[in-house]
A and B are shown apart, each in its own frame.
Chain A
């Protein structure tokens, strides 16, 4: 029985979020990767070097290019009979496709696991991370999405490079059911929020989108990604993909700097597993101070430029 990992790729290599899912999956044994859509073969060649990969299935068909759940779920269903587990990263793609697949297989999916206890027992956060449930699955095949922040990304190299690449056929779906029209993806020079080592986020205290430039200046010096609280996104300061929180992105960088963020429960759920947390907020009673390793009570419009200037000093040393 295979341990299958549905991996997203960019036509060249496996995308970083899927490397976290690979780490979770390979704790149970040798894994089989599934790569689909145009460029899957090229991505498979580079994926051979990922440690722990025994086999790579490739369905290089254009119909999978937009990863529509209505198309991909039937393919996963066709592979499930030979699988003990099917893993994916809990990205917007994994979250969209896996429950549909699970229902078609009559399986109760296990969402966003944070730990693998054994082949059938997993830990997953519930109530915005305020409780951790240990659950045991009775299903024959386990469908699992993986919380990226809870597992290190697998290295891309270091494997023996002997994984066999096997082409598989696309599975007929209902082509008219859902059609991809267009996407508006933001392109940034900065690291991705979910994989950045350092993240600086702004909240309602930023007052407008223009003021996020203050954070950009710090981010550029530290090679950090910029994030935001739900309040800042709902107020239209920055686009939705900036949102850190239970209902946005859940991240665990080495350093998280929260600026003008009060620390609502749902925001804390998205960042409280960061290794070091710093915050700047003028309200000394804001809940963010209860989780911060280093807190500065100050007006952010004075403190952030000062912090940025001070970085020049410490980074030079």
Chain B
């Protein structure tokens, strides 16, 4: 079996971001970058399918990223976690989800995986679109927001996190999975594995050669910081808190 896992290079989740002076984008110069946390869960999910014997040991896990050459570092992280090889679709950073989905569709056509795993959302643009879009473009089933995943004969059994609780679905393969937080806890790459990852194959495909229109559909007019909340007060007791919320804030 072949599994494609999409990984995105984003600002580290612990970094407090700032809007640039021109108010056109978030400042990314000298900001610490990392693999999108949901994508780490995606890589881990693929590795566990293989390690648990649910798919055969000869299965290949391919990490793919769409972005500038620096996204190669993110692919190396996936390789250090245990993915077998990488594909960098080299393009400018910050492409819209529809374009990324179309580029991934072209990679799927070349590689013919039975399963593509993506994070449910990237923590930079917060779109939550690419996986579902790719499923639509390919005409495949989609198991979005997955918190459990198992091979069930020639189908996939997926538990999805939905607003009121959990939902179980059965998907025909090939299929798309997008990961939610509780699917697994991703591993940290060990030092020997980081060294080994440097020797694993990483191919580069220029996006311009994949026949996809790369022009954006959305014009970003401005990016601004949200209004800050004004500082509050400290109260001295639980009784004072109840009193203030009732009599001052009129909250109940």
Chain A interface (Cβ < 8 Å from any Cβ of B): 17, 68-70, 73, 91-93, 95-104, 106-112, 121, 124-139, 174, 176-186, 194, 198, 222, 230, 233-234, 239-241, 246-247, 249, 254-255, 265-266, 272, 275-278, 280, 289-298, 302-304, 306-307, 309-311, 313-315, 317
Chain B residues lying within 8 Å of A131, measured Cβ to Cβ, are: 17, 19, 26, 223-226
B134 in contact with A135 (CB, 8 Å): no
Q: A131-B17, A306-B238, A310-B242 are in contact. Are A178 and B161 (CB under 8 A)?
A: no
Q: How far is the CA of A249 from the CA of B163 in the complex (A)?
A: 8
Docked pose: A103 CA to B102 CA in angstroms:
9
Inter-chain contact A92/B132, CB cutoff 8 Å: no
Q: Which residue of B lies closest to A254 (CB)?
A: B251
What's the minimum C-beta distance from A103 to chain B, rounded to whole angstroms?
4
| Complex interface: stretch among B58-66, B68-76, B189-197, B228-236 | B228-236
For residue B57, CB closer than 8 A to chain A, the reply is no
Known pairs A103-B137, A109-B98, A294-B233 / 17 extra A-B pairs, C-beta < 8 Å: A99-B128, A103-B101, A103-B134, A109-B97, A130-B16, A132-B224, A134-B222, A136-B218, A136-B219, A178-B169, A239-B165, A240-B180, A255-B249, A291-B232, A307-B242, A310-B241, A315-B252
Q: Tell whether, in the assembled complex, residue A296 and residue B238 are in contact, meaning their CB atoms are under 8 Å apart.
A: yes
Kindly state whether residue B21 has any CB partner on chain A within 8 Å: no
Give the residues from 1 to 52 in chain B that come closer than 8 angstroms, CB to CB, to chain A.
Answer: 11, 13-14, 16-17, 19, 26, 38
Q: Which of B129, B131, B144, B162 touches A109 (beta carbons < 8 Å)?
A: B129
The digit string for B210-225, where 1 denotes a CB below 8 A from any CB of A, is 0000001111111111
Chain A binding surface, main DSSP class: mixed
Contacting residue for A96 out of B11, B121, B142, B238, CB 8 A: B142
- Is A310 touching B243 in the complex (CB atoms < 8 A)? yes
Report B180 CB to chain A, min CB distance, Å: 8
- Whether B135 and A100, one on each chain, are in contact in the complex, defined by CB atoms closer than 8 angstroms, is yes
B151 at the interface (CB under 8 A from A): no
**Complex: A110 Cα to B218 Cα, angstroms:** 9
Instruction: Give the distance in Å from the alpha carbon of A108 to the alpha carbon of B161 in the complex.
Output: 25
| In contact, A132 and B123 (Cβ under 8 angstroms) | no
Whether the pair B26, A126 counts as a contact (CB closer than 8 A) is yes
**A296 CB to nearest B CB, Å:** 5
Q: Whole-angstrom distance from the CB of B98 to the nearest CB of chain A?
A: 5
Please, what's the 1-or-0 string for B171-196, where 1 marks a CB less than 8 Å from any CB in chain A? 11000000011100000000000000
Contacts of B225 in A (CB 8 A): 130-132
Contacts A181-B170, A198-B252: A246 and B224 contacting too (C-beta < 8 A)? Answer: no
Interface centre among A183, A246, A272 (most CB of B within 10 A): A183
Complex Cα gap A205–B171 (Å)? 39
For B123-140 the 0/1 string (1 means CB < 8 A from A) is 111111111111111011
Query: Which residues of A sit under 8 angstroms from B123, Cβ to Cβ?
Result: 127-128, 246
Smallest CB–CB gap between B32 and chain A, Å?
14
Contacts of A290 in B (CB 8 A): 229, 231
**Pairwise interchain contact B223-A314, C-beta atoms closer than 8 A:** no
Q: Which residues of the partner chain B approach A109 to less than 8 Å between Cβ atoms?
A: 97-98, 127, 129
Is B205 in the interface zone, CB < 8 Å from A?
no
Could you tell me if A99 and B136 are in contact, using CB atoms closer than 8 angstroms?
yes
Shortest Cβ distance from residue A232 to the other chain B in the assembled complex, whole angstroms: 12
CB distance from B115 to the nearest CB of A (A): 14
Alpha-carbon gap, A176 to B140, bound state (A): 11
A268 to B64, CA, bound (A): 32
Please determine whether B17 and A179 come into contact, CB atoms closer than 8 angstroms: no
Q: Can you name the residue of chain A whose Cβ is closest to the Cβ of B127? A: A111
Is the C-beta of B246 less than 8 angstroms from some C-beta in chain A?
yes
CB-nearest residue of chain A relative to B99? A108
User: A102 vs B133: C-alpha distance in the bound complex, in angstroms?
Assistant: 7
CB pair B218–A108 under 8 Å, yes or no, is: yes
Instruction: State whether B96 touches A108 (Cβ < 8 A).
Output: yes
| Residue pair A311, B132 in contact (C-beta under 8 Å) | no
Whether A100 pairs with B167 at a CB distance below 8 angstroms is: no
